[in-house]
Structure 1
């Protein structure tokens, strides 16, 4: 696995420390999201009497157990019981590679645990099959103010996503929206060398890329630098991808691979819109001009171009500085800065990340559905505001009976503001959590010796620079659907293959831009039109 892709995996895991298509109608979660007064005092974190709650476990290859511990009985499950009065029982466990298949078989046979975490497709299928307990009432009564506050940061869209036929049927995760914008990362030292300002538009970006290729920005006297990087597997990614062209697509109001509503309020697949054709044409022109890495469609490790100082421009998410540590070790003068590319009207366009990807569901008929809510309260508190015992535990460890990310949707920008306040003396260091105290100390050291220690530079740069870009006013398009319909189960893989192949051929010049029109026609005829209707029906539920 190449180094930047390893960084992707690292930061996705780190999002459990940082943190953890809106299905359904807009007002579905209005009641469950309210903060009604409970009719009697409720302990949000501990049930009055011990209860048993069965679960199933995915066991990763690197999972370590201490002497005497088991998957069912360990320091994490003991912490859960001591804090909540919930005794978790593991019905079965499986390796991470076999877990999903075994879980789907269990669901098909209706042999499901009391509580489990599933993806959106599985959640909606179980809800449709009447396998899930209605959590509306227990959420209202038992959800802690803290967890409600996290959901409020999504404008209750997470709760809407977990609502089916007007009922709250799951406790949803919360995705960090900071991953939504595709940021242009440029070497400021190269910009200074070629005497150009940071680009704001596609045309200005092209001017910068010409200079990066033609004006020897690395100063070695050789024509060995390239323009923009790309990758060989996707022209645009749904989340926080590196080395794609999502930032260019968004500048044309196009949102590849995402279900959205068009200007008329109709559900459409983002890859079939007119803006998509315009963006593909623009990217092809850039490639034809030599402004994009000529070998990007074949290159296995585009990150090598960055690490070896041959590229000074690529698109990526806010947390890219963590992925640039090795680049700075090779060249401490590499001064990476983030920028956004605007559309023809001067707006920055993004598609939000699906607000929830995972759902804690409860088996229909389970006698204590409130246990799932109390467990969620406890685990979120243990991760966000840990007590002395929780501090000794690893918040992201796989031995937690149920593990799912719940945090503020805007966690990255909140930490950006917190760090700025600490540096300005408005917040004392000891008032911050352990993570931000460390970042604060790293920033102080980096200010004394800029980029001398890349490890000290990375985290502060991510929060101050990357997350700082997120403060810009942005035109946000929300995905409306991110699950699977019945026809998608049999047709989607072929439709996606056709999409990827056609779009790469257009960009590389192997097909004319009008091949996009034929793609849209074929997409509709080969199942797309039927899928659109199915998505519309799903959104009514």
Structure 2
């Protein structure tokens, strides 16, 4: 597990565009291990996602909207006569309440009551491990609260059974301009995942798809010592990996170093081969357009075989830890701490966890690392895959759930008012008025009590366009209007002042740091989005988990030489016959409908 110090640093890193906590992965697996608040959100605990833009809510009164999907009058302000609005959620053992407060009565709920005239009532609260099962029971019973967070499969079931409110007109009339801009910062891709036949049936739990981009992290001091080229091409990368393995980069006279760090989950967000696969233009676990315009599964394409062959050769040459397939992040990070490895792929927060525990010791940075964009195997730029192996996140969008409104709700527009308020509060620098939506007197975790939590889709990527320039010029005024940029800049100032614990922020914020590169990915269109963003198909629900397990097991065996590369072709046939062919048909049926 990550230390308390690094956990705090993770919270800073996730600030503003707010990674889903499972993506920040403070555990040794890639599952959803984050704490969840009473509203069932999996978002992390930082507020203030991006600088405020657009209009705020009007401070006027209105009457409750009619049920049965009648379009309400336009008015985004406070109810003249307060209404009750029911929600459900999950408890969080790490959420500490102020004296006299609880999930049912707390200052966050009070704030919504005072500012919007919405009295939030919990219909039920369960332990986070029981939440999905409880939602399934609720869906089966048809006894829905006004507002509930669900996953993609549950949303599909609710829509098919006509249990949720069509929010199309409600959203159009009640969402503020600030909200509409916030929810479509990615061009509308995430919002579109909540649409069925053009109707908005839910509010997507937005997050930044760009935060799941892959980067290459390299020991720059080893490059210099061994006179190796910067890994800007795949050929250069392979040369670096070989040099780090064979040329004794730590100078101890022993053949005990490995060119690349890897851990047992080969598609994980950090310390995996995900970025290398992308460098070979392979996109495992996702759906790719072929030459005919049809969707095919990325894991079984020829590019994947080429990448696996390259990894098998690296492993045979001793360039990969021979026991990587038995190790988690923490164990593999010991190689870094022992000066036995100096290259890894990962997401931008990799320099927040797990690397710092190996790099920063006794308030000193003991190793020099640099961040690079993904190198390509040919003259075409490497695209970084979005959403790989991110738990409940829909691959290719960043969405990690949906808020649905019951069709029986008397005030469906209240959900949009709650959404407006959260975005307005969370897109400005904190003030005493806004902080009551995030903090109690003794706890910084009250943000988890918000009935709706959405995250910025592009705050980190946009900050990468101005923050590195501000850091280079040592001019904080250049990020004065950016909540994200200002937070990182303060960390960097502390790093300059001798706080080595802020090395992680330095690696993100500096020129040629990860946010600089993330912005380059954005401006040069190097993000690769999955072409399938629908709910899991019937065959996916019944068979994909088994196929995924077979894939991981075989590909790991191929890499380690326990299976010949020819078994890749055998698996392609097996994958198709065991459900893959049917999944492909279902995916293409869905895709054809999107074009209409």
* TM-score (norm: length of structure 2): 0.80
SS of residue matched to 1:94:
strand
More divergent stretch after superposition (375-384 vs 302-311): 302-311
More divergent stretch after superposition (144-153 vs 371-380): 144-153
- The reply to whether residue 370 of structure 1 matches residue 369 of structure 2 is no
Could you tell me whether the CA contact under 8 Å between 1:254 and 1:279 is conserved in 2?
A: yes
Q: Tell me the residue number matched to 1:26.
A: none
- The reply to whether residue 295 of structure 1 matches residue 323 of structure 2 is yes
Corresponding residue to 1:476 among 524, 527, 538: 527
- The reply to whether residue 439 of structure 1 matches residue 471 of structure 2 is no
Q: How does 1:117-132 map to 2 (within 5 A)?
A: 117-132=149-164
More divergent stretch after superposition (504-513 vs 327-336): 327-336
Q: Structure 1 residues 304, 62: CA separation in 2 closer, same or farther (over 3 Å shift)?
A: same
What is the Cα deviation at residue 537 of structure 1?
Answer: 3.3
Question: CA offsets, 1:267-313, max 9 Å, x none?
Answer: 22211211111111111111112221121112242122123322110
Mapped to 2, the partners of 1:375 and 1:315 lie a distance apart of: 39
Q: Tell me the residue number matched to 2:29.
A: none
Q: Structure 1 residues 299, 431: CA separation in 2 closer, same or farther (over 3 Å shift)?
A: closer
Mapped to 1, the partners of 2:208 and 2:7 lie a distance apart of: 14
Mapped to 1, the partners of 2:79 and 2:307 lie a distance apart of: 55
Mapped to 1, the partners of 2:11 and 2:2 lie a distance apart of: 16
- The reply to whether residue 382 of structure 1 matches residue 425 of structure 2 is yes
Mapped to 2, the partners of 1:478 and 1:348 lie a distance apart of: 13
Q: How many residues align?
A: 516
Corresponding residue to 1:428 among 467, 472, 477: 477
Could you tell me whether the CA contact under 8 Å between 1:230 and 1:292 is conserved in 2?
A: yes
- The reply to whether residue 453 of structure 1 matches residue 496 of structure 2 is no
Mapped to 1, the partners of 2:140 and 2:75 lie a distance apart of: 36
Could you tell me whether the CA contact under 8 Å between 1:184 and 1:313 is conserved in 2?
A: yes
Q: Tell me the residue number matched to 1:68.
A: 100
Could you tell me whether the CA contact under 8 Å between 1:318 and 1:466 is conserved in 2?
A: yes
Mapped to 2, the partners of 1:260 and 1:9 lie a distance apart of: 38
Structure 2 gap segments, 5+ residues each: 20-54, 59-70, 388-395
More divergent stretch after superposition (387-396 vs 134-143): 387-396
Q: Structure 1 residues 298, 19: CA separation in 2 closer, same or farther (over 3 Å shift)?
A: closer
More divergent stretch after superposition (463-472 vs 473-482): 473-482
More divergent stretch after superposition (185-194 vs 473-482): 473-482
Q: Tell me the residue number matched to 1:23.
A: none
Could you tell me whether the CA contact under 8 Å between 1:63 and 1:398 is conserved in 2?
A: no
Mapped to 1, the partners of 2:496 and 2:475 lie a distance apart of: 19
Q: Structure 1 residues 434, 440: CA separation in 2 closer, same or farther (over 3 Å shift)?
A: same
SS of residue matched to 2:348:
coil
Question: CA offsets, 1:403-440, max 9 Å, x none?
Answer: 43331x22112223342454437762893466643432
Q: Structure 1 residues 105, 12: CA separation in 2 closer, same or farther (over 3 Å shift)?
A: farther
Q: How does 1:83-232 map to 2 (within 5 A)?
A: 83-232=115-264
Q: Tell me the residue number matched to 1:493.
A: 545
- The reply to whether residue 336 of structure 1 matches residue 364 of structure 2 is no
Could you tell me whether the CA contact under 8 Å between 1:183 and 1:318 is conserved in 2?
A: yes
Q: Tell me the residue number matched to 1:391.
A: 435
Mapped to 2, the partners of 1:91 and 1:184 lie a distance apart of: 46
Corresponding residue to 2:357 among 317, 326, 346: 326
SS of residue matched to 1:98:
helix
Could you tell me whether the CA contact under 8 Å between 1:58 and 1:99 is conserved in 2?
A: yes
Q: How does 1:223-242 map to 2 (within 5 A)?
A: 223-232=255-264, 234-237=265-268, 241-242=269-270
Q: Tell me the residue number matched to 1:522.
A: 574
What is the Cα deviation at residue 315 of structure 1?
Answer: 0.5
Could you tell me whether the CA contact under 8 Å between 2:476 and 2:486 is conserved in 1?
A: no
Could you tell me whether the CA contact under 8 Å between 1:2 and 1:303 is conserved in 2?
A: no
Could you tell me whether the CA contact under 8 Å between 1:485 and 1:531 is conserved in 2?
A: yes
What is the Cα deviation at residue 214 of structure 1?
Answer: 2.2
Structure 1 gap segments, 5+ residues each: 21-34
What is the Cα deviation at residue 95 of structure 1?
Answer: 0.6
Mapped to 2, the partners of 1:273 and 1:396 lie a distance apart of: 44
Q: Structure 1 residues 14, 59: CA separation in 2 closer, same or farther (over 3 Å shift)?
A: farther
* TM-score (norm: length of structure 1): 0.88
What is the Cα deviation at residue 53 of structure 1?
Answer: 1.1
What is the Cα deviation at residue 384 of structure 1?
Answer: 1.8
Question: CA offsets, 1:329-359, max 9 Å, x none?
Answer: 2362411111121231241212233322221
More divergent stretch after superposition (38-47 vs 248-257): 38-47
SS of residue matched to 2:213:
coil
What is the Cα deviation at residue 133 of structure 1?
Answer: 0.4
Question: CA offsets, 1:32-86, max 9 Å, x none?
Answer: xxx9xx9999553534442221000100122222221121210110111112211
Could you tell me whether the CA contact under 8 Å between 1:17 and 1:396 is conserved in 2?
A: no
What is the Cα deviation at residue 250 of structure 1?
Answer: 0.9
SS of residue matched to 2:325:
coil
Question: CA offsets, 1:79-107, max 9 Å, x none?
Answer: 11112211111011101111211111111
Mapped to 2, the partners of 1:447 and 1:14 lie a distance apart of: 18
Q: How does 1:23-34 map to 2 (within 5 A)?
A: none
RMSD: 2.8
More divergent stretch after superposition (455-464 vs 366-375): 455-464
Corresponding residue to 1:504 among 524, 535, 556: 556
- The reply to whether residue 345 of structure 1 matches residue 345 of structure 2 is no
SS of residue matched to 2:351:
helix
Q: Tell me the residue number matched to 1:249.
A: 277
Corresponding residue to 1:413 among 461, 474, 484: 461
Mapped to 1, the partners of 2:297 and 2:192 lie a distance apart of: 21
What is the Cα deviation at residue 474 of structure 1?
Answer: 4.4
What is the Cα deviation at residue 244 of structure 1?
Answer: 0.6
